A and B are shown apart, each in its own frame.
Chain A
């Protein structure tokens, strides 16, 4: 039931691929910064979905998806700033950014 790959499906597949790559990076790398890089990739993949749905959706003139993506970019910027600040603080605190070595996230 593959059929023809439509433009929207193409963009969605690319987004899914990038999302999964980012997730794989976030789940497997030991360096906390690389985990953040993976998360950034995932966010970007989500943005691609938003833009693609906006472009091929029924009412592109309403700009909803585009505006959503722009807000998402803004929020992601905030996330990156705080996240990297946390990484630096963790590094200062634990002298490492190796997540395997950091096991204090428990009650």
Chain B
């Protein structure tokens, strides 16, 4: 685990925390972009350049902007009376904490099965483990061409389905957000 990972992870978590904790909704949206950017950096750190840039384009470029638009359209940046958190926030927090406990436990409990970093120090400790963990594979060189071939070849059916889904979502979003005359009366 490198220092850079810890830095990016800290940035991401801090952005996420700020996004759900801040009072001003617009600030939340901005913190959200920080979290998105951190995640994109994590993707890049994982040698998934394409996914990283797609993350930046889609989330920072589109979703975050959409969120800001929605905030402005709903005048949601004004702090409501009675605080920003739900009256029964403790229940929600408990549920979230429980989910984290289960997830974290699952990860740590399965740690011996996970591949080890290929440094000599870890190799020495891994000798203690009964099941030999597979070594970390070298970073695969993924070109955009390979992704394009995969999308147009093996994954062409999901690709088409996603295209239909996006079209449906586009039309659906327009219809849902469209001003209806009956309701305006």
Write the residues of chain A forming the contact surface with B, with a CB cutoff of 8 angstroms. 1-14, 16-31, 33-34, 36-38, 40-41, 44, 47-48, 51-52, 54-56, 58, 60-61, 63, 66-67, 69-71, 73-82, 84-89, 91-93, 97-100
Contact = CB atoms under 8 A, between A and B. Distances in A.
Contacts, number: 275
Size class of the contact patch on chain B: 35 or more
A71 B164 CA distance: 12
A1 to B, nearest CB: 7
Contact of B125 (A4, A10, A36): A4
8 contacts: A4-B126, A14-B9, A22-B20, A36-B67, A47-B43, A63-B147, A84-B173, A97-B74
A74 B98 CA distance: 29
B108 interface: yes
A15 B173 CA distance: 29
Contacts of A93: 183
A58 B35 contact: no
